[in-house]
Amino acid sequence: MTPLSERPHEAQPGKPSFPADWDIDTLRVNWREHLERIFRDEEIPIPVKRVIRQVEGSPVYQEILARWKDMKGDERLKNWKLLLEQSGKSLEEILPACMMCGECCRRGSPTLQLEDLELLKEGRLPWDQVYTLRRGQPVHSPFKNELSFLVDERMKVREKPGARECVFFDHATDQCLVYADRPAQCRAQACWDPTMAEDLSRQPYLTRRDVFADVELLLDLMAEHDRRCSFDSLKEAFDRLAAGGTEALDEILGLLAYEDHFRHFLGEQLKIPDESLDLVFGKSLADLVPLFGFQVVEEPDGTRCLVPDNGEASAAPGND
Ligand code: SF4
Segment 134-173, tens digit of pLDDT? 999 988 766 566 778 899 999 999 999 988 899 999 988 8
Structural domain includes residue 35: yes
Ligand 1 centroid, distance to 105 Cα (angstroms) = 5
CB atoms within 10 A of CB 214: 7
Range 235-256 average pLDDT: 92
Better-scored residue on pLDDT, 51 or 14: 51
Residue 56, domain member (yes or no): yes
Determine, yes or no, domain membership for 13. Answer: yes
Please tell me whether residue 19 adopts helix, strand or coil conformation.
helix
Residue 210 has a CB neighbour count (10 Å cut-off) of 14
Number of C-beta neighbours around residue 71 at 10 A: 16
The answer to whether residue 242 sits within a structural domain is yes
Specify the pLDDT at position 4. Answer: 45
Q: Which atom of ligand 1 has the smallest separation from the CA of 102?
A: 8
Same domain, residue pair 148 and 70:
no
For residues 107 and 206, state if they share a domain: yes
Q: HSE of 148 in the Cβ direction (CA atoms, 13 Å)?
A: 12
What backbone torsions phi and psi does residue 26 show, to the nearest 5 degrees? -65, -40
Q: Are the CB atoms for 54 and 99 separated by under 8 Å?
A: yes
Q: Pocket of ligand 1, candidates 176, 185, 191, 319: which has the most ligand atoms within 8 Å of its Cβ, to mutate? A: 176
If pLDDT is split at 50, 70 and 90, which confidence band does 3 have? very low
Mean pLDDT, range 91-99, rounded to an integer: 79
d(CA 106, CA 174): 10
Domain boundary among 92, 125, 153: 92
Name the nearest CA neighbour of 235 among 141, 147, 157.
147
3-state SS, residue 219: helix
Do residues 148 and 287 share a domain? Answer: yes
Least confident interval from 34-48, 53-67, 68-82, 172-186: 34-48
* Rounded Cα distance, 102 and 173, in Å: 10
Tell me what the mean pLDDT of segment 35-60 comes to.
84
**Closest-lying ligand 1 atom to the alpha carbon of residue 168:** 7
Same domain for 203 and 137: yes
Q: Which atom of ligand 1 is nearest to the CA of 110?
A: 5
Q: In the predicted model, what is the mean pLDDT of residues 298-308?
A: 84
User: 243 and 288: one domain?
Assistant: yes
User: Are 155 and 222 within 8 A, CB to CB?
Assistant: no
Which pLDDT belongs to residue 314?
A: 52
pLDDT at 316: 53
Q: Please say whether the dihedral angle defined by the alpha carbons of residues 221, 227, 229 and 232, taken in this order, is positive or negative.
A: positive
In this structure, are 67 and 177 located in the same domain? no
Same domain assignment for residues 40 and 72:
yes
Last residue of a domain, which of 92, 111, 144? 92
**Residues 186 and 248 occupy one common structural domain:** yes
**Short-list 266, 268, 240, 261, CA closest to 304:** 261
Flag whether 171 is in a domain: yes
pLDDT at 44 exceeding the cut of 50: yes
Residues 278 and 128: their CA atoms lie apart, in Å, by: 9
DSSP assignment letter at 302:
S
Range of lowest pLDDT (63-67, 121-125, 165-169, 241-245): 241-245
Could you tell me the distance, in angstroms and rounded to a whole number, from the CA of residue 230 to the centre of ligand 1? 29
Task: Tell me which residues have their CB closer than 6 angstroms to ligand 1.
Answer: 104-105, 109-110, 157, 166, 168-169, 176, 178, 182, 186
Would you say residue 165 lies in a domain? yes
The residue type found at 296 is V
Task: Please check whether residues 152 and 122 belong to one and the same domain.
Answer: yes
Coil vs helix vs strand at 188: helix
Q: What is the mean pLDDT of residues 217-230?
A: 95
- Regarding whether 69 and 127 lie in a shared domain, the answer is no
Q: Are residues 244 and 270 in the same domain?
A: yes
Does a structural domain hold residue 110? yes
Count the domains in the chain.
2
Residue identifier of the C-alpha nearest atom 5 of ligand 1? 105
Residue 203 lies in a domain: yes
Same domain for 221 and 173, yes or no, is yes
Distance CA 104, CA 49 (A): 11
- Looking at the chain, which runs of residues are DSSP E strands? 130-133, 138-141, 146-149, 154-157, 169-170, 175-176, 294-298, 304-308
**Containing structural domain, residue 23:** 4-92
Q: How far is the CA of 139 from the centre of ligand 1 (A)?
A: 18
Kindly give the distance from the C-alpha atom of residue 314 to the centroid of ligand 1, in angstroms, as a whole number.
22
Residue that terminates a domain, selected from 64, 92, 120: 92
Between 56 and 184, residue with greater pLDDT = 184
Averaged confidence pLDDT in the chain = 87
How much distance in Å is there from the Cα of 133 to the middle of ligand 1? Answer: 18
Pairing verdict, β 138-141 and 294-298: unpaired
pLDDT at residue 293 above 60?
Answer: yes
